[in-house]
Every structure is written in C-alpha cells, then in structure tokens.
Chain A
Amino acid sequence: MPENLTRRQFIKALGLTGAGVTLASAAPALAAVSGDTRPGDVPYRYWWVKNVDQPTTEIDWAQMKRYSEWRTTRGSLKEYRGAEKDASYLNLQKENLLKFETEQRPGYTTKDFALKEAVGSGRPPFLFMGPQTASTPEERGVPRYEGSPEENARIVRVALRHMGAGTVGFVHLEPETTRKLVYDQEPSPGKKSNVFENIDIGYEDDQKRVIPEKAKYAIVFSVQMSQETMRYGPTQLGSLTTTLTYTRMWLILTQLHEFLRSMGYQSFGTSAVNGLGIYPAFAVLAGLGEMSRLNRVITPEYGPNARFTVLLTDLPLAPTKPIDFGVMRFCRDCKTCAEFCPSGALSMDRDPSWEVKGPWNNPGHKAYFEDSVKCRNYWNTCGTNCGICFAVCPYAANDEASLHNIVKGTIATTPLLNSLLVSADRQAFPATMGEPMKDPESWWRNENLAECGIDSRAGGRNI
C-alpha cells in the first residue's frame, strides 16, 4: 500500500478502478489519504509509487569511493579497447554513416541527419557557476529570498517545471555517503578536480572547481525524452531523441543557475556533458526512479525515457525519499532489454551483483552492471547511439491506454504475474533483433506530433 498518498493520487486511483479492471485494489489506500504533498514526496505521483527509506539498489557506502567521470567509456574508451581497435571502430562508424546516407537508408536519410544536427544546436556553454548574468537581489537593492526548506523545494520545483523539467527531487550531501557521488574529477579533456572546502563563495581555477561545504543541497531533475522517436533506434532518427533532450536539459540547467542567482544563492553544476556527479545514483536517492537491468534509471512517469542532471546549491531544500514501484523485482523476470541487445552488453543474470564488469562501473552498489565497451562498439557499427534497450522496455510507454497504469500498479503490488506480463508486452509491442521497432519513414508522414515529442501530462498530471 502506498505510504504517502495525496488526495489527488487517491482520486486518480479511484478513477482507475472506475475504469473497470484492476488487479491491485485501491480500496486499502483509503486509510492513507492525506492532504497535499508531504515532506519526502515527489508530488503528483500514481498511487502505486511507494516512498521508502532505503533505495531498492543496495549501497555499501564504506566500499564506495569517489569516481572520476573520465573513467567511463565516454572518457576512456580508447584505453579500454586499445588504440588500434579504437581507430578501426571510429573508421567503421565514418564509413557506415556515409554508406547509409548515400543509400538513403530509412532513419539515416539526409533529413534524419539534418534534424539531428539541428536539434543538437543552440546549446548554452557549460559553466561551473552558470552564466552569472541575471541580476542578484543585492544588485536590485532588496534582501535575498528566504523561505523554509519545504517552501524552497516547492518554489524550485515550480520554476523547474515551468522551464521544461519533468520530475524534481532533492538530496542532501553528506561527506561519508552521498557526497561520494560527486565526481572526483570532471570529464576529459579538462579532468578538473571537484573539491569541497569550508569557504563562503565557490570558485574555479585551472586545476580545480571548489564547492563550498554549505552548498550541500543537490537539486536533481529529469527531462523527459520522446517515447516515440526512441522507438526508431538504432538510426539517426532514434538517436536524436537524446540529442534533443540534452539540448533542452542544458538550457534548463542554465536557467536554473540564473534563477538561484537571482534569488540570492550560489549554484554549482557540470562543466561538460554528464559531469559533476553520478546522475542515476542521485536520481534514485531523490526518488525520481529505480535502477534496472539497463543499469539506468526507470521512472514511474517516463519509464527509461528520461535524462537527469544535478545542480548543487546553498539554498536549503527539504530532501525527497527514494521510491519502490517494483522495477528491480520485475527486472529479475523480464530480461527483454538484455535479450534484444544486439551487442550482448546487458546482464542476463537473474539477480543484480556487487561485481563490476569493468573500470567503467563504480563499485559499491549492487547492480546489473553492463559491458559498456560492447555497447559502444555496437554504436560505432550502427553509426549512432542505439537505444534498442530503452525502446523495448515495457516501461517505455505513454499512458494514454489505461492498461499501462494497471500493469504498472500490478507490478508494484505483486511479482506473481511478472512473467505473464512480460509475455503479453512482447506480443503487444513486438520487436526484431537489431531493427527499429517502427519504420522511420512513417514518422516523417505524421504531421500531428506532440511538441518536442513528449507528453507533458505523462505520469498522471492533468496539464
């Protein structure tokens, strides 16, 4: 039964049962009806999302060390596969992209290339402390904004939502635990150190980026990706799903920097793609989702189709709790992503493990670790990032059809029907190994597309 159920969620739950068939009754939820958002809630959630004290991913904080971003395959792929192999894969990618565009292969036609190029343009530069162009309260001659941590959390959520973010949660940085999720060193080529010091104002020099200890509030937010275009991967059309999301995310991140500055507070963010910290871990601790066999986060609202980022600030913010909606239990029985992964990169083990697959994984948590090098090799082969595993995941669905919500509610309530639900999903959303789930040319014929390919009402919101 949900621990914290808001009135809105309860009404939604009733609406669901009113639709006729639900395997997980909302009746017991009656006792849990509360007022609006409680501390610890990420608001506007379906009734089957349960707040928990510990995340569904086991973490051994004593074993966990701070990790350097450049050690991921984004920064050290050449080292992991060897210089010669690396050069030959990069060459293969170049040749294939030329071949596919020359052939005008669906999903790799000139219009697909052009759209990907276009949606990747116009990104603001990454700046550790943001552009710092917005006026501060001091400059305007007024005191800085002051509020309780709960009020501040609400205001940041509202602002972020208006900027285009999906869900928003908060984590407090503690030196022995959560602060270890901030990267020791930033991505290549800069590899600057992220350092915490007991100072008043943060700064950056040639060697390091210094974050004041008091900036211990992490704002974690998701940006929704298009469920639709993701279904066309592995192609340029499929891959522009993430390209567009990153463009939107960086714009939101920049605006958030300026919002906090204009309220009178400091903020510290990434200085490169995926920098600052381990976003999936922050997202799990903030209650935005659960880890999965993808070794990525699955959210209740957008399934795996979300990107995350983090900004640190000295504006006090009430933390949100991790959640459990059955994903880690479901992945034990599902394996759809791993079976359809063309490179065999994803774990086929029934249970998650403490054993990492390579130096691109950070030890200290129990996960379905992936062979990231195999995945990257496949990306070079198909010329672009692949995304098949995201597309085939049963959670990768919009929720217009009420069946999705019933299925997710059932998974969150009992693991007994997991295998049956996996089979039904594969029948309803068939996939072919190594192929896009849908014909990319059909997407270009549809002129009735959602803005940015996303549904801003996803996850049970009514706007």
Chain B
Amino acid sequence: MLWLLVGIIIGGGAIWLIAKTRIVWYQYVLGILGVALLLFTLQNYLGFLAEMEGHAAGFSLLIMGLPGLVLALLAVVLPRLLNQRKSNNAD
C-alpha cells in the first residue's frame, strides 16, 4: 500500500511538472537520480527499522538519503541559479 501511494504521488508529480513547467535535460537526469536514491533510501530505512536496527536506519538516511535529497534539490534550483548567473552576466 505504501509503495502504491508513493508511486501515485511520484507519477502524479511527474505528470504535473512535465505539463506545467519547461524541464531542461539535466533536470531529468538529476531528478530521476535523486528520486531513485530517495526511494532506495526509503526502502532501506524502513527495512532496517523492521530489522530493529535503528542505528543502521539512521546511517542509511545519511549516506543515501542526503545525496538523494541534494540531487533532487539541484534538479529544482539549478536552472534558477544558472538563469540568475546569466542575468548577472548580462548586467
């Protein structure tokens, strides 16, 4: 059930983003990598908790969740940063 909900949210989000915004190729790359890593983190986090391994669960958030989050955030903010730099250069 959890994975069905996660699938619906990610699928819905992706459709909305593609329809409403202009996505550059590297946003696809960063976004897909980031979301894949976040999903992988979620599975492992829950798995470690089911194994009663709280420390390992926290560790998985740090070593996989954090890079996943950074990649996903980069997908969102990188075009803005690049645009900002372009307009600064134009000034």
A and B together in one complex:
yes
Contacts of B50 in A (CB 8 A): 398, 400-401
Interface presence of A69 (CB below 8 A) = no
By the criterion CB–CB under 8 Å, are A401 and B60 in contact? yes
Interface pairs A-B: 6 shortest CB-CB? A401-B47, A400-B47, A400-B50, A428-B56, A401-B44, A398-B51
Could you tell me how many residues of chain B have their Cβ less than 8 Å away from some Cβ of chain A? 18
- Which residues of A104-118 have CB atoms within 8 Å of chain B's CB atoms? none
A-B contact pairs, 11 of them (CB 8 A): A20-B36, A21-B40, A227-B51, A400-B48, A401-B56, A402-B44, A403-B47, A424-B63, A427-B59, A428-B59, A446-B52
Question: Given A400-B47, A400-B48, are A428 and B55 neighbors across the interface (CB < 8 Å)?
Answer: yes
Contact among A19, A227, A228, A427 with B43 in the assembled complex (CB-CB below 8 Å): A19
Indicate if B72 sits at the interface (CB-CB under 8 A): no
Verify B40–A20 contact, CB threshold 8 A.
yes
Residues of B within 8 A of A (CB): 36-37, 39-40, 43-44, 46-48, 50-53, 55-56, 59-60, 63
Chain A 427-441 interface mask (CB, 8 Å, partner B; 1/0): 111100000000000
| A20-B37, A21-B40, A401-B44 given; A429·B51 CB < 8 A | no
Chain A facing B: main interface SS: loop
- Contact A402 B59, beta carbon cutoff 8 Å: no
Bound-complex Cα distance A430 to B47 (A): 18
Q: Are A228 and B52 interface neighbours, CB within 8 A?
A: yes
Q: Looking at the assembled complex, report how far the CB atom of A175 sits from the nearest CB atom of chain B, in whole angstroms.
A: 45
Would A20 and B39 count as touching, CB distance under 8 A?
yes
A397 within 8 A of B: yes
Looking at chain A, what size class is its interface with the partner chain? 10 to 19
**8 Å CB contact of B40 from A397, A402, A430:** A402
Residue of B nearest to A403 (CB): B44
Pair A430/B44 contact, Cβ less than 8 Å: no
B36 contacts A397, C-beta separation under 8 Å:
no
Q: Which residues of A contact B47 (CB under 8 A)?
A: 400-403
Distance between Cα atoms of A422 and B59 in the complex (Å): 15
For A395-411 the 0/1 string (1 means CB < 8 A from B) is: 00110111100000000
Please measure, in the bound complex, the distance between the C-alpha atom of A373 and the C-alpha atom of B39, giving whole angstroms.
48
- Which chain A residues lie closer than 8 Å to B60 at the CB level? 401, 403, 428
**Chain B residues positioned under 8 Å from A228 (CB to CB):** 52
Residues in chain B near residue A20, CB distance under 8 A: 36-37, 39-40
Looking at the assembled complex, report how far the CB atom of A413 sits from the nearest CB atom of chain B, in whole angstroms: 19
Q: How far is the CB of A226 from chain B (nearest CB, A)?
A: 11
Complex-state Cα separation, A19 to B38, whole angstroms = 11
| Closest chain A residue to B33, Cβ basis | A20
CA of A398 to CA of B44, assembled, Å: 12
CA distance A295 to B74 in the complex (A): 49
| Assembly CA distance A228 to B50 (angstroms) | 11
A446 to B50, CA, bound (A): 12
